[in-house]
Structure 1
Amino acid sequence: MAAKNIDLDQIIDVVAEANPGSALDRVSGARAMAARLETLSQHVIAQFVEEARQGGASWTQIGSALGVTRQAAQQRFVASESADFAAATGRGLPYSARAATSIEAARTLASEHGHRSVDDAHVLLGLLENRTGAAISALKTLGLRTADLRKSARAALPGDTKRKTTNPALGRSGVKALELAEREALRVGSAAVDTEHVLLGLLGDADSAVAKLFADAGQNYAAVRAAVASEAAVKPAKKTAKRTR
């Protein structure tokens, strides 16, 4: 569907239908809708910027296409370390309880080992601490053992230091993984980032440490995404079966 075919009345109708209560309910609904549309628009642009970069476009060319300078384009679309952990993980969609627990586990791991930043390998290890959820189910579907993944992820971490790190920053690879996790959630219309989205976010950058250790295990983003989709397809059927017992 062409973007020009999405008109204001359609959006108004969606908000009104989703908020049949008072006019103030619809104001709150409109605010939430506007925030989601803004998040979607940012990821649409980021998706095509990444495609342009992979196709060989320079930051000067991309900046020109965006109507900004080369420096402004790089600052906006190149992941950088974030000292404000809360801001980096709370920019758009909320996190499910499982996903939030996994991210906090990654942060605790980095702190206890004296690492100055939480990188993608930390995030994977935090994710593997969760014994339930679609991420673990997808890994099992692919025949991947969490013990093997833990061993590989730990090998990708920097060496330990003698002192714990207080409030480690979210490293560049961690920032990128969570940015892509949000995009994965938006792709399927999810209201929150869950563990499966974090897993796919970790694999979304083919050059990341996590993507490489999955490649060594014979898996890639496409295979994991197919497994996640398969789990999502059977989940409603499992719930229905439980209710009819």
Structure 2
Amino acid sequence: MASFPAPFSKLIEYVQSLHPEAGPLEHLMDAVITAQAQNDQSDALIGYFVDQARVSGASWSQIGAAMGVTKQAVQKRFTAGDELLPKGKAFSRFTPRARIAVAAAGRLAESAGDVMIDAPHLAAGTLADPEGLAARALRLLEIDFDQLYRELSIGPASAGDDPEPSTLLRFQYSSACREAFKDAFKAAIRLGHNYIGTEHLLIALVSGEGAVRQAFANLGIGVDLIQSAVTAEIANLVLKLKRVEGKYSGE
């Protein structure tokens, strides 16, 4: 069995290293902050494996039994799948750019006189922010955005400010769009993420059956290529971050 990743002695050393010359009270304040971060990570760790269990088909009763709590208790604490759809804590796991994408899709649908957001609207919405991972991945694949919009039979969406999650409740969503939300959650789990970004929405849309998948197929692009491009862009961003950290740490 592997050793626990953060032995108690290492946590003590870490807290003391934050401000080596500080006194006991300063160390105590650092310890409180560190403990809170550990608690947040613990919740995220358990939530990640709860999500994986749900994706594998486990029931809430089975998950509760595995955790030693009731079905009701575990459902109250972890409502990941429901939170992705417009009910309950709507869109709580969506990143700001993903929420912007949904709002942009809604405005695009309204401007076209459509009564609900459908998959093509959402696909266009994921590209509204040029710095979102969906748009970056497609640029990496040298996709002609104008040609893509023609294939989708829809115009480009315009990005706005990050909306409050509750404001997205005013939109109506097609069954294909709702299915894409669920599949985006699964795509995030496969990539080891506990959030929903534009990249997960795009992967879900191209994975599904319908107009978006066909539009990309007409351009010779399948979901495997998109997922590879997303992974490459994430790696590129991580590399840039490490370079910045190295620059300021003197490495």
Which structure 2 segments of 5+ residues have no match? Answer: 16-28, 63-80, 156-168
Does structure 1 residue 40 correspond to structure 2 residue 42? Answer: no
Supply the distance in 2 between the matched residues of 1:12 and 1:182 (Cα, whole angstroms). 33
Give the secondary structure class of the aligned counterpart of 2:212.
helix
Pairing 1:33-112 to 2, within 5 Å after superposition: 36=44, 39-41=47-49, 43-45=51-53, 47-49=55-57, 84=87, 87-90=89-92, 93-95=93-95, 97-112=96-111
Q: Which position in structure 2 is the counterpart of 1:177?
A: 180
1:57 is aligned to: none
Match of 2:153, SS state, is: helix
* Larger-Rg structure: 2
Q: What corresponds to 2:140 in structure 1? A: 141
How many pairs are equivalent? 203
Deviation at 1:182, TM superposition (A): 2.8
Summarize the alignment of residues 1-245 of structure 1 with structure 2, pairs less than 5 Å apart.
Answer: 32=40, 36=44, 39-41=47-49, 43-45=51-53, 47-49=55-57, 84=87, 87-90=89-92, 93-95=93-95, 97-154=96-153, 167-203=170-206, 205-239=207-241, 240=243
Aligned partners of 1:176, 1:38: CA distance in 2, in Å? 25
Note closer, same or farther for the CA distance 1:6–1:36 as it changes in structure 2 (3 Å cut).
farther
Q: Which amino acid aligns with 1:182?
A: F
How far off is 1:23 after superposition? 8.3
Aligned residue number for residue 164 of structure 2: none
Amino acid at match of 2:124: L
Q: Which amino acid aligns with 1:138?
A: A
Gap regions ≥5 residues in structure 1:
50-61, 67-77, 157-165
Q: Which amino acid aligns with 1:211?
A: R
C-alpha displacement of 1:184: 2.8
With over 3 angstroms needed to count, the CA separation of the structure-2 counterparts of 1:169 and 1:26, relative to structure 1, is: farther
Q: CA deviation at 1:145?
A: 1.0
Contact 1:128-1:150 at 8 Å conserved across structures = no
| Aligned residue type for 2:122 | V
SS at 2:170 equivalent:
coil
Distance 1:154 1:38 in 2: 42
Contact 1:139 1:224 in 2 (8 A): yes
Are the equivalent residues in 1 in contact too, given 2:187–2:203 (CA < 8 A)? yes
Q: Distance in 2 between matches of 1:223 and 1:109?
A: 27
| C-alpha distance in 2 between matches for 1:11 and 1:115 | 53
- Displacement of 1:48 in angstroms is 3.6
TM-score with structure 2 setting the length? 0.60
Q: Does the C-alpha gap of structure 1 residues 45 and 212 become closer, same or farther in structure 2, counting only changes over 3 Å? A: farther
Task: Return the offset for 1:234.
Answer: 2.2
CA RMSD of aligned residues (A): 4.3
TM-score normalised by L of structure 1? 0.61
Closer, same or farther: CA 23–172 of 1 in aligned 2, 3 Å: farther
Deviation, structure 1 residue 222: 0.8
